[in-house]
Every structure is written in structure tokens, then in C-alpha cells.
Amino acid sequence: MNNTLNIMGGLIAGSTLFLITINYMADNIEDFESLPLPPPKMKSITSHNPIIKVDATSRKKWTLVDFSTMKTYQVKDLENDKDKINHFPWDIGFQRTKIVTNGGVTNPEGRVSLKNLGPIDFDSITNIPSDGYTQDAKSYGKILNKAISDWYLYRTRTHNIESQKNVYVAQMADGGHLKMRILNYYCYRNESECKSAMCSRQEAACYSIEYIHTDDNENFPITANVLTSSTTPSKEKNN
């Protein structure tokens, strides 16, 4: 009988101590969680040419960029939002790894098209190509622009994305021309950090794009000595 009482007393004492400990930990955890963590620092990619940062992290919306004004617009569906797509003054659209242009199947009323010049020196391109541009088309039920659909390499070991650093020239919606190169795909990492370690999908699809814009048919300016700059597009009201 005494042994039974001793065992029950020990269990009650142990349970009481356990509850006191849990309550203490809960109070401290609550205090800790009330302090917000500092926001992650966006990765800064440098170039002597202007750089635009494009947030294409949404899986449900497209981010449409007007490179002449640095404004962005958003639409949910390329095929069902034709009226909005035609209304917005944009050049190139982004959603995760997918890229489209304001022309061809995406918008028959648009005039944007792209030419892939390959992984050549960005500053060496001063002349505007006269032909060889591609507009959006449907391929196996998907809308894409074949000039830029293979802009990245997919690393099967780490499941990460790495830009091929190709240079593209675009005939723009406003009649000018754009020279661009995708430098980085991740928000808080440099692509070089993802070659051997996995970078999460949650921090992907923040494009860093090097660009030169000309609003006429003259050659691209030589920019080898231009100071490094970075631009975050202004956002228009989502539609």
C-alpha cells in the first residue's frame, strides 16, 4: 500500500513539475515570438549598366514590365485578360521562370519581339539588329517566346536555376529597343551560391536584369564607364 502511495505521489509530483516547466517555456516562447525577425536582405547584383529588379514570385499572376517607364502591372491569366494586357503599356512579362512578350499570341495587337544574341559580351552590342526577331507563339498548348524560353539552365542535382547570361534585344512597345541580360534569379542569394547547395523556391524568381533602353532606332550607347545603378520598378494597381 505504501509503495502504491509513493508511486502515485511521485507521478503527481512529476506531472506538476512537467506542467510548471511547460508553462515557463510557453511564456518564454511567446515573448520570443513577439519580437519580429529582421527581414531578409535582398541580394545586390552589381553592374556598370542599369539593373532592374523584377518580382516574379507569384505563381498565380504575371508581372508585366514597361522598361521605358520602369512601371509594372499584374494580370492573372494571359488568355482571359486580353483586354487588360492590351490596355497596359508593357514590354516583357514574367512569372517564375516563364517569360512572354507583348506581341504575337500573347497580344496580337502588340509589337514586341525578341532576338537572342547568345552569351556574348553585353557592352560589345551597339548596333541594333535589323531582323531575326521572334514573337510569342503557342507550343504544345503553352504560350512562350522561343527566343527566350531557354534563358536558364536547370541543375538536376540541386534543382536550382542559373541564367545562361544570354544577351537579348527587344523591339519595344513604344517603338524603341531594349538590350537586356538576366544576371540573377534569386532574391537573397547569388546564383553562384546555388551551384553546390540547394536554394529554396521561396526565395526564387526575383530577377536582376541588366539593360540598356533606347527610344529610337539609333545604336545602343557605349556604357562601359557608367556608374553602377539599380532600379526597382514602381507598381501600378493590381488588376
Assigned domain for 8 exists: yes
- Are 41 and 188 in contact by the 8 Å Cβ rule? The answer is yes
Apex 226 CA angle, 223 and 228, nearest 5: 125
Tell me the three state secondary structure of residue 27. helix
Q: Report how many domains make up the chain.
A: 2
The C-alpha atoms of residue 187 and residue 53 are separated, in whole angstroms, by 9
Burial of 202-237, coded b for 16+ CB within 10 Å and e otherwise, reads ebbbbbbbbbbbbeeeeebeebeeeeeeeeebeebe
So what's the pLDDT on residue 144? 96
Assigned domain for 43 exists: no
Residue 183 identity: L
Are 101 and 216 within one domain?
Answer: yes
Q: Which residues contact 134 (CB under 8 A, 6 or more apart)?
A: 113, 114, 115, 116, 145, 146, 147
So what's the pLDDT on residue 115? 98
* E runs forming strands in 8-83: 51-55, 62-66, 71-75
So what's the pLDDT on residue 31? 45
Assigned domain for 91 exists: yes
So what's the pLDDT on residue 152? 96
So what's the pLDDT on residue 29? 46
Q: Which residues of the chain have pLDDT under 70?
A: 1-11, 13-43, 223-231, 237-239
Find the Cα–Cα–Cα–Cα dihedral 98, 102, 107, 109, rounded to 10°.
-170
So what's the pLDDT on residue 159? 83
The predicted model scores a pTM of: 0.78
Structural domain that includes position 10? 1-37
So what's the pLDDT on residue 36? 58
Assigned domain for 46 exists: no
Are 22 and 108 within one domain?
Answer: no
Are 144 and 200 within one domain?
Answer: yes
